[in-house]
């Protein structure tokens, strides 16, 4: 069997999420059906990180094992031929060594995009989160810096989160404004369920002036989800990329240049 690694882009608007669900549309099911037609045998894909309903990916990383011999070009073009328009294979490569899409990952980064203007978008209603209240992106950025480091993120964890530990290592959080969009990029060794959306919801409250700038620090310390902001909608959330050690010979997103040299895999 040969292990193949893929980079996947998708618009999650019309999906129930990454993971297969009976009688519901999932990215995993769509991808497995397409790859099975190219491989001429059933295929099971493993992803770097499952995304929820409505969440998108700029570059999800997956792997699968196959007995079929195909060129990388064939996996890309053949797979895309059988995929719906809202899912695309960006690249394909044979895996190196003991590569595993999930367990070999050192870090992941998510991007949250807020359309900050008085009027909703007619073009991107499910690709951004709309906020009509003016947001101070610089204030949001300053408030978010306390999240960097190894912390208990219980205040930003969904009630149904099944992780054994609330501790995660956040490597960086950047909030910037690009025209009428406010963009948050956050990277960590791993994320709790709804962690990014809960952080985004609280930062929106700070940016809108509804909460003081030091509120995020207080939420981190109090470790109570009920005291934090709302869970921001899924529409603006994107899995931006996954970072792997150089030994696996995969190109990493430029944003990961900000990672510390000693960044290591999360152990749950």
Distance CA 197, CA 118 (A): 22
> DSSP character for 44?
-
CB 179 within 8 A of CB 155: no
Burial readout 212-239 (b: 16 or more C-beta within 10 A, e: otherwise)? ebebbeebbeeeebeebbebbbbbbbbb
| Of 231, 217, 198, 203, the residue nearest 135 (C-alpha) | 203
Q: Would you tell me the crossing angle of helices 195-207 and 137-144 to the nearest 10 degrees?
A: 130
Residue 180 bears catalytic tag = no
Residue 16 β-bridge partners: none
Phi and psi angles of residue 159, each rounded to the nearest 5 degrees, phi first = -60, -35
Calculate the alpha carbon distances from 100 to 17, 18, 48, 64 in Å: 21, 17, 8, 9
Contacts of 152 (CB under 8 A, 6+ apart): 166, 167, 220, 223
The active-site residue out of 11, 52, 85, 185 is 52
Distance CA 239, CA 101 (A): 14
CB 104 within 8 A of CB 98: yes
| 107-115/2-10 β-pairing | unpaired
Catalytic residue numbers read 52
């Amino acid at each position: 069997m040969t292990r193949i690694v893929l980079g996947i882009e998708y618009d999650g608007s019309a999906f129930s999420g990454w993971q297969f669900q009976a009688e519901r549309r999932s990215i995993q099911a769509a991808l497995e059906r397409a790859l099975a037609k190219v491989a001429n045998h059933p295929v099971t894909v493993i992803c770097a990180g499952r995304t929820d309903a409505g969440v998108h990916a700029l570059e999800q990383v997956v792997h699968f094992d196959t007995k079929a011999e195909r060129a990388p070009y064939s996996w890309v073009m053949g797979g895309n031929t059988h995929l719906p328009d809202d899912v695309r294979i960006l690249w394909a490569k044979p895996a190196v060594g003991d590569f595993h899409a999930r367990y070999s990952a050192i870090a992941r980064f998510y991007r949250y995009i807020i359309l900050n203007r008085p009027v909703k978008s007619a073009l991107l209603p499910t690709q951004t989160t709309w906020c009509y209240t003016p947001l101070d992106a610089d204030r949001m950025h300053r408030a978010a810096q306390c999240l960097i480091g190894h912390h208990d993120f219980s205040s930003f964890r969904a009630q149904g989160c099944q992780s054994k530990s609330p501790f995660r290592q956040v490597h960086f959080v950047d909030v910037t404004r690009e025209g009428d969009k406010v963009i948050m990029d956050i990277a960590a060794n791993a994320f709790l369920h709804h962690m990014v959306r809960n952080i985004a919801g609280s930062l929106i409250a700070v940016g809108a002036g509804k909460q003081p700038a030091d509120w995020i620090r207080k939420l981190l310390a109090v470790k109570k989800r009920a005291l934090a902001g709302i869970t921001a909608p899924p529409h603006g959330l994107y899995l931006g990329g996954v970072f792997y050690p150089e030994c696996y010979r995969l190109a990493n997103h430029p944003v990961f240049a900000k990672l510390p040299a000693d960044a290591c895999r999360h152990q749950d």
